[in-house]
Amino acid sequence: MRPHLAAARGYSREDRAINIRRIGWVAELLARNGVVVLVSAIAPFRDVRDEVRAAHNAGGKSYVEVFVSTPVAVASERDVKGLYARQRAGEISGLTGVDDPYEEPLRPDLVLPAHEQPVAASVALLVDHLEGAGLAGSARKEHV
C-alpha cells in the first residue's frame, strides 16, 4: 500500500498516521461496496486506529481489530525483511516496537498469539471470529 498511497511519506508519527488513514479509507470504500476487506498493517497508534474504526462504524460497516501478538524478540528472530538486523547495526532507526513506539490495543476484537501457534491455527481463529460476527458467511475452506 505504501508505494501507491504514501510514496512521498516517511516514517514520522504524522506520516505513519496518514498512511493508516489512507489504508482505512480504501478499506472502508471497498467495504461500502460489498467487499470483505482484510488489512495487514502495522498501525502503531491507538488514536489513529480508533479514528479508522469510527469512520467504518459511521459508514455502517463492521471494523474488527485483530492484534497479532508477537513479541519483538520473536519478530527480530524471524526478521523476514532484515529490518531488525539493520536497526541493530545502526543503519536505520524508527523501527516500530524497538526504537519507535507501538501502542498495543486496549480492547482488540481478537488476539492472535502468532508466536505460540502455527499459522493455520491463527487463520482458523480469525475465520471463526469473522463467521461468528456474521462477516464472512461460510468461509470454511482449506487455510494457508
d(CA 85, CA 82): 5
Domain boundaries, given as residue ranges, for the chain: 1-63, 66-144
* Gap between the Cα atoms of 49 and 21, Å rounded: 8
As a dihedral over the C-alpha atoms of residue 87, residue 89, residue 92, residue 98, rounded to 10 degrees, the angle is 20
Those residues with Cβ within 8 angstroms of residue 36's Cβ, 6 or more apart along the chain or in another chain:
130, 135, 136
What's the whole-number average pLDDT of the chain?
87
* 5-55 tens-digit pLDDT: 666 667 788 988 999 999 999 999 998 888 889 999 999 999 999 999 999
Which one has a higher pLDDT value, 62 or 20?
20
Q: Domain 66-144 classified CATH 3.40.1110.10?
A: no
Decide which of 9 and 74 is more confident.
74
Q: Are 23 and 40 in contact (CB under 8 A)?
A: no
